[in-house]
Amino acid sequence: MKTEMPFHGVTADEMRAIAKRVFAEIELRDAETWRALVLGIWRGSKFREEWYCAVELAADRRARDFHTLDALPMFEELIVAGAWWDIVDHVAGHRLGLLLEREPKAMRKRMLAWSRDANMWRRRSSILCQLRCKERTDLELLYACIEPSLDSKEFFLRKAIGWALRQYAWTDAKEVVRYVRANKTRLSGLSKREALKNALGDGTIASVP
């Protein structure tokens, strides 16, 4: 893990068990209380597992109703300050995805803006925010968020593009193959390989040169 932040050395399962036990004793009265607790843990963390605990509290089932646009600045702080895949991918794929489901018009506008942001982790998040949308994926939004990063040489953006396309291939493999073909001169080799891992599992779909 490329981080200067120290670790306690607690495994992910142990961390989640501790977080679940501790957070069960906390009353999440309202959205403001929830956000304050998440950010309190986040900003006061000295070890990376403590950051993970903040992310766990952000994902608490009792807080699902609190996933509104008011929560976006909190998630944005976790993404920008976390600045590594272990934090960013979870927040983008789970938390932003739920916000997009709840507030599609406003979140669409925000994600389009993030896709062109100077911060690479905002860009990656905009690409990954629909990872779990399956047949509900807004393809126009996905492709629009990918577009500004198609020519990027940044590994984490190339990987995100491939991952997002690979996930959607479970829903519509032929569409992913079509998209890769249409953009094969711009997509990196990494993005194409990742995108087609699921799409080419079906022998009836021709391989893409």
Instruction: Give tens-digit pLDDT for 104-152.
Output: 999 999 999 999 999 999 999 999 999 999 999 999 999 999 999 999 9
192 Cα distance to chain centroid: 20
Q: How far apart are CA 203 and CA 206, in angstroms?
A: 7
Please report whether residue 198 resides in a domain. no
- 200 token code pair: 């080419």
Please report whether residue 13 resides in a domain. yes
- 49 token code pair: 């597992």
Please report whether residue 86 resides in a domain. no
- pLDDT of 208 > 50? The answer is yes
The strand ranges marked E within 4-125 are: none
Please report whether residue 174 resides in a domain. no
pLDDT grade for 198, boundaries at 50, 70 and 90: confident
Residue 186 φ then ψ, to 5°: -105, -35
Q: How far apart are CA 115 and CA 89, in angstroms?
A: 15
Domain that residue 41 falls in: 1-66
Please report whether residue 44 resides in a domain. yes
Please report whether residue 93 resides in a domain. no
- pLDDT of 10 > 60? The answer is yes
- Return the closest-CA partner of residue 134 out of 164, 104, 90, 96: 164
Please report whether residue 9 resides in a domain. yes
- Count: domains in the chain: 1
End-to-end CA distance of the chain: 34
- 153-176 mean pLDDT: 97
- 54-83 mean pLDDT: 97
Please report whether residue 52 resides in a domain. yes
